[in-house]
Chain A
């Protein structure tokens, strides 16, 4: 059996930001790279505008209901980047000095906004992240800006990885971008990795790892059916010198937890300190007459002044007035206009001033009749990293209920008073801005049905300097398990108060030279120094001198 086991230099688990970025650089540097992705591999023309179960909308998503927290994540080649809304702000400076629940700085000393900026630059170059103009903002974004302005606040068009010349504002980006306007990893890093010889295997769900006598890793996976993910057909093993774990913050700690019996004790922080990025949603139901009267907005003859919930490209405008480092922790947040499609969250929106139930029934149906006039505001606050994973399920990261998308997981999240403080402040702020002069009626989403709801799971296997409260050192290597690196959102120490894709990607870029050095130490012939997958070299040329100063092997 040993003689026939398949071998690779670097095995990457997951093909989202953490996986694709590592795979590209390691393959470009000369390593044999194999990527195992639990979800399917869809081409752009397979991205449908269809809410039917079984369409791309449900094939590429994973919604796991936990105890007090539900997580929406990607489930396909390209991971979160295929379903994301491509908002790419950098995290504000103060975030890196957060103390969170441990009473001292939770980020590694070596990571700050200043030290991360060169890596943010690399991502900006690779994903063509652009500053958006007011002309790019959707009606919903414009409405949010106008309401903020009316309330004496500022608002910004959001930096985004979207090619506006190709965008048709269909608001179906969560089902994958049919028009290749959104800069998913399937149009940059992943084709780059393939061109350099990396192999990507969809529908391969990693279950656990074990160590070989030589100190390498044996990675066990199951093959998942391409239509009904509840079905599995076969399994396999690959041996690798280096393992890069990037299965997402809701799956990486589950795989490690299941591997503990074979790999030996995991750091305490594996599967703990989970953060939902402090996320919270509010739905406003606009009074269309007031939109015209109070804000002076119009879409022209015969159209409602707003009535454009369905139109756009996810979030386009955010208000950053509370991203103020001088404010106390747990009272800083951004308020971002968002789009939430039917099916994934409508049920959680609550009726303002309800006399009966808030999330179902007569009055709920009445507000659904005004769905066109809904505006969703997304608060990203500072939570307390209070999520903890329970024992791993039999396979994967959840017990799958539906053929696709829906499962029950073992994440438990009991929001602390700190977290509630941030949520309440953000709720009150949204209400103040949008209810001013009768513009709208606002209610937060209920937490009573599926707990809190995050689309940006973080920190479940986080980096840090303190071995008691972090699972990874500041090079993203798993403590006590040399050769295993974690590069997905689970490495981010805590809530970021903004959309995290940019920071997850920058941290993955930053980790790569360390992974290269570890691979070289294990005899893999690999170097670091590939340009952006697009061919641009500015970002690479800026980080190389920094790395040489650190005398990292292989640079």
Chain B
């Protein structure tokens, strides 16, 4: 049975953002779920992990989609995190590479330290950075910008890494074998006949 999709009335809209902001947000997404470099010399992706991370999973496609509600603030977020990176570099004596945005210029461990600071309870901008992190993570763990069955079929690195199986032809999961099928513990002595606590 083929998968029947609901017809959407509102077309999907993705905002365009500047190349520098894209680079910065890719570096942020890669800090949340790191991946391998897409090409030699890839600056946004630090390359501290094997396999695709949030960026390869399409984090920017998800962030730019107006369904998220974060789309309109992306350029502002990029410029803020670059500002924080500049301040961080100054404070820690790091020298920034002027050919890329400041956050991209930081190495992975410095990016991590900065994201930890920004998301620590009490930071005035914490809500923004948690929201941004949430969507970056969702690109990896649930491919929220793609139909799940199509994402799996196209080898989405996050769903593959998590071992999400292929659904039936109609896009639905069914598991015939679902349990060990035997008693594995003694019941609580105060259980009622209908199976509730007394």
Contact = CB atoms under 8 A, between A and B. Distances in A.
Contacts of B65: 53
Interface in B147-173: 147-149, 158, 161-165, 167, 171-173
Nearest to A56: B6
A142 B144 CA distance: 31
B39 interface: no
A97 interface: no
A498 B190 CA distance: 15
Nearest to B191: A156
B64 interface: no
B110 to A, nearest CB: 12
Given A51-B143, A347-B134, A401 B69 contact: yes
A171 interface: yes
Contacts of B163: 307, 310, 371-372
Given A50-B171, A137-B180, A149-B184, A402 B147 contact: no
B161 A139 contact: no
B142 to A, nearest CB: 4
Contacts, number: 234
B8 interface: yes
A299 B180 CA distance: 7
Contacts of B144: 51-53, 343
Contact of A361 (B32, B180, B184): B32
Nearest to B108: A362
DSSP majority for the A interface? loop
Interface string B124-141: 000100110110011011
Interface stretch (A87-95, A241-249, A386-394): A87-95
B185 A138 contact: no
A92 B142 contact: no
A310 B141 CA distance: 13
B197 A89 contact: yes
Contacts of A185: none
Contacts of A278: none
Contact of A320 (B67, B127, B134, B197): B197
A536 interface: no
A170 B172 CA distance: 8
Interface in B27-52: 31-34, 48-49
A172 B171 CA distance: 12
A307 B137 CA distance: 22
B185 A155 contact: yes
Given A52-B145, A178-B172, A362-B48, A403 B66 contact: yes
A129 to B, nearest CB: 7
B58 to A, nearest CB: 12
A320 B189 CA distance: 10
B195 A170 contact: no
A381 B133 CA distance: 29
Contacts of A312: 175, 178-179
B171 A227 contact: no
B188 interface: yes
Interface in A367-417: 368-369, 371-372, 400-404, 406, 408
Given A93-B198, A139-B180, A297-B180, A53 B67 contact: yes
A200 interface: no
A210 to B, nearest CB: 32
A458 B40 CA distance: 54
A342 B188 contact: no
B194 A360 contact: no
Interface string B95-113: 0000000000000000010
B46 to A, nearest CB: 10
A135 interface: yes
Interface in A158-176: 158-159, 168-172
29 contacts: A55-B147, A92-B197, A130-B195, A139-B179, A141-B179, A142-B180, A142-B182, A142-B184, A146-B180, A146-B185, A153-B185, A154-B187, A156-B188, A168-B172, A169-B174, A170-B173, A227-B10, A308-B178, A312-B175, A313-B178, A343-B144, A356-B112, A361-B31, A369-B162, A401-B70, A402-B68, A403-B68, A448-B120, A449-B134
Interface of B: 6, 8-10, 31-34, 48-49, 53, 65-70, 112, 115-116, 119-121, 127, 130-131, 133-134, 137-138, 140-149, 158, 161-165, 167, 171-175, 177-198
Ordered nearest first, which 7 A-B pairs have the shortest CB separation? A131-B195, A343-B142, A155-B185, A169-B178, A149-B185, A145-B184, A51-B142
